[in-house]
């Protein structure tokens, strides 16, 4: 179940938003447009647990058969700071 609250509603009743987040994501709007999402900790952990890390991806079998030639950066990676 998704819940949508305006920023004003969220500020006036945080408890309601926290209870709703136990049932599903709470979308908080700013001037009618979604700006934030409130999740329970359990939902957040489940969400990030689904995404493999770069280490997991590089350890996958068969990855050595993938051709990958990164493009060399042509511009300098840093420049002196302008302290004037």
Can you give the residue ranges of every domain in the chain? 3-54
Tens of pLDDT, residue by residue over 39-69, are 999 999 998 887 788 888 888 888 778 887 8
CA distance 36 to 3: 12
What lies within 8 Å, CB to CB, of 37 at 6+ separation is 25, 26, 27, 28
Tens of pLDDT, residue by residue over 13-30, are 999 999 999 999 999 999
Tell which CATH classification among 3.40.1620.10, 3.40.50.300, 1.10.287.3240, 3.20.20.80 matches the domain 3-54.
Answer: 3.40.1620.10
Tell me how long the chain is.
84
Q: Are 19 and 41 in contact (CB under 8 A)?
A: no
> Token match 């993938």: residue?
66
Measured in whole angstroms, the distance separating CA 3 from the mean position of its chain's CA atoms is: 19
Q: Specify the pTM.
A: 0.59
Q: Are 5 and 26 in contact (CB under 8 A)?
A: yes
């Amino acid at each position: 179940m998704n819940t949508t609250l305006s920023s004003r509603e969220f500020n006036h009743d945080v408890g309601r938003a926290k209870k709703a987040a136990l049932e599903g994501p709470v979308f908080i709007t700013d001037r009618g447009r979604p700006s934030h999402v409130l999740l329970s900790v359990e939902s957040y952990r489940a969400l990030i647990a689904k995404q493999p890390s770069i280490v997991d991806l590089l350890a996958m079998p068969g990855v050595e058969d993938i051709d990958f030639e990164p493009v060399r950066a042509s511009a300098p990676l840093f420049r002196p700071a302008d302290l004037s």
